[in-house]
Structure 1
Amino acid sequence: LYLSYEKTGNKVPVEVFAAILPCSQITYYEAVPSQKKEHLIQACENAFHYFGGVPNAIVPDNLRSAVTKPGGVEPVINDDFAAFADHYGCVVFPARVRKPKDKALVENAVRLLYREVYSKMTGLKFNDLEALNIEIMKHTDALNSRKMYNRNYSRRERFLEVEKDRLHTLPATKFISKSRKTATVMRNSYVSLNNHYYSVPKEYIGDTVELLYDGDTVEIYHKFRHITTHRKDDTPFTYSEKPSHKLSGV
């Protein structure tokens, strides 16, 4: 799918995310800039809010934004996607490689996307994702409200009757994606992040720790064990300053 700019005539490719619930087959579509993990996570979160609840499990395809190492008995889930699932209280079961039945429903949702959404948008031009997604949502809602083939109910009616109450309640806050950095604890018992210093207990001097941070906090872990948390401070040091003069304390 493309964003088509009316003034210049330029086309910018975008990806389209598709999600479906297994019983009612109620479907959610959203155009996103790319398959990067932040866009995948945001689209999954938007799908949960569209459905009004959280399923027990997410079954993603094996794209790297969700699955670091596919296949085998225990595929490795991307850390950020795993943190997202943990925030929403669900588990991740990636579709098995070369097992098309694992994702048959969403493959059908993709076919419906072409037939019931794309076909209704032929010739339309959109200058931004918001306008494009408003149009996609209009046709998504129509699809979910229309009677299903050989059924006397719609996807939405089926969802409200048998599936909605089985979803878990949405958490009070949305997921905040966090960045990671590996650092070595210096001899003065501090680690550096973006030219700011954060203290660590002295017994970890010389050890490698992992910093998990967002716009507000910096959490520090040693071998997966949380050891301290600081308020994030992006004030950089100048070369003339000593670390001990401006530090985030324990």
Structure 2
Amino acid sequence: MAQETGFSVNTVRKYLVCEGRPRYQGRPRGMKKLAHYMAYLRERVEQARPIRLPAPVILREIQVKGYKGGISQLRSYISTLKPTVAVETLIRFETPPGQQMQVDWIEFRKGKNFLAAFVATLGYSRASYVHFVTNERLETLIECHEQAFVYFGGVPKQVLYDNMKTVILERDVYGPGCHRFNGGMLDFARHYGFQLKVCRPYRAKTKGKVERFNGYLRYSFYNPLVTRLKMAGLLLDKDTANQEVLKWLREIANQRVHGTTKAIPAECLIEEKKYLYPLPLPYQGTIIRAVPQESPNPLWSQEVLQHPLSVYQQLLEA
């Protein structure tokens, strides 16, 4: 029978012993390397609810504690602890190096302890810059732009925004596509030599590159950081956030292989810098909140810490 069927003698013997063809079940995946950290993972995920913590973030945390395994079994385990979150697919238009920077505000806390972040992403390299703030005033927006230009090493040809009032006051005032911009922001753009560009109303996802990074910032940086501080009874402040986010940008965000470009943003930035305008002298203009645009030219279309900083630093380095 073995010769006729091509099966081994032992397999034929099993056919004869049991009814029907034997079914082979896959070997259960071992989680011996992860077993020591399961209690921590359950507590970590439970403490963070309803915030979702990505597997790469948790992997870095338990690697510090001595975990030697990979991410696959970690993903399998934490998938049993939290629901799967669907990710919306966006269509993005690529721009040449030095052409565009996309800018956005992302709010994390409202009210008395308001905390937000200025986020800027270069369209070609996908290199990003983040600065946490306690207000979204025009002078703050301008200061964040200056810091971003220094961080990237130059100025892009245009900057894309949604319809924030610190940038645009009225649309199509001087004709289609010729808008009335905030006077202070317009003066700042003229000084640095870049073009103000805004998304169509209710189409903020036109700036999908920075929108996608906003989600990455929230889930891979802010949520892990704020939940770790919460476990120690601390509230994340602006200074601690800015100190930690620069380290995160340098070591993780701009060093990862980008999901769309399949390249490392920091390496692509080296090439994109060649196409950025050089930095001018520091901006000395007066901030004007509501001055109409003079020409329809479309080209110009301190927080107190809850605790000493050393307390936060000791916790984050633990």
Tell me which interval the TM-score lies in, with the shorter structure as reference length.
0.5 to 0.7
Other structure's SS at 2:283 match: coil
Q: Which residue of 2 aligns with 1:156?
A: 266
2:215 pairs with one of 98, 103, 111: 111
The structural deviation recorded for 1:116 is 2.1
Contact 1:75–1:94 under 8 Å retained in 2: no
Query: Among the aligned pairs, what percent are the same residue?
Result: 28
How far apart in 2 are the matches of 1:109 and 1:86? 27
Contact 1:144–1:155 under 8 Å retained in 2: yes
TM-score (norm 2): 0.50
Q: Which residue of 1 aligns with 2:277?
A: 168
1:18 aligns with 2:18: no
Contact 2:119–2:210 under 8 Å retained in 1: yes
Q: Which runs of 5+ in 2 are unaligned?
A: 1-107, 296-318
Give 1:159's aligned amino acid. Answer: L
Q: Which residue of 2 aligns with 1:96?
A: 200
Contact 1:26–1:144 under 8 Å retained in 2: yes
The structural deviation recorded for 1:112 is 1.2
Other structure's SS at 1:153 match: coil
**Distance of aligned partners of 1:70 and 1:130 in 2 relative to their CA distance in 1, 3 Å threshold:** farther
Q: Which residue of 2 aligns with 1:245?
A: none
Give 1:19's aligned amino acid. Answer: A
How far apart in 2 are the matches of 1:128 and 1:101? 29
1:73 aligns with 2:73: no
How far apart in 2 are the matches of 1:150 and 1:83? 35
How far apart in 2 are the matches of 1:12 and 1:155? 33
Q: Which residue of 2 aligns with 1:43?
A: 144
**Distance of aligned partners of 1:127 and 1:64 in 2 relative to their CA distance in 1, 3 Å threshold:** same
Greater CA radius of gyration, 1 or 2? 2
**Distance of aligned partners of 1:96 and 1:145 in 2 relative to their CA distance in 1, 3 Å threshold:** same
Other structure's SS at 1:64 match: coil
Contact 1:145–1:155 under 8 Å retained in 2: yes
How far apart in 1 are the matches of 2:237 and 2:285? 24
Contact 1:116–1:139 under 8 Å retained in 2: no
**Distance of aligned partners of 1:14 and 1:177 in 2 relative to their CA distance in 1, 3 Å threshold:** farther
1:123 aligns with 2:211: no
**Distance of aligned partners of 1:180 and 1:170 in 2 relative to their CA distance in 1, 3 Å threshold:** closer
Cα shift readout 1:95-127 (whole Å, capped 9, x = no counterpart): 121334521111111111112211331233467
Give 1:63's aligned amino acid. Answer: M
TM-score (norm 1): 0.63
How far apart in 2 are the matches of 1:165 and 1:89? 16
How far apart in 1 are the matches of 2:118 and 2:164? 12
The structural deviation recorded for 1:18 is 0.9
Q: Which residue of 2 aligns with 1:145?
A: 255
Q: What is the aligned residue count?
A: 176
Q: Indicate the structure with greater helix content.
A: 2
1:33 aligns with 2:134: yes
Superposed CA RMSD in Å reads 2.8
The structural deviation recorded for 1:68 is 1.2
Give 2:185's aligned amino acid. Answer: F
1:178 aligns with 2:272: no
Give 1:157's aligned amino acid. Answer: E
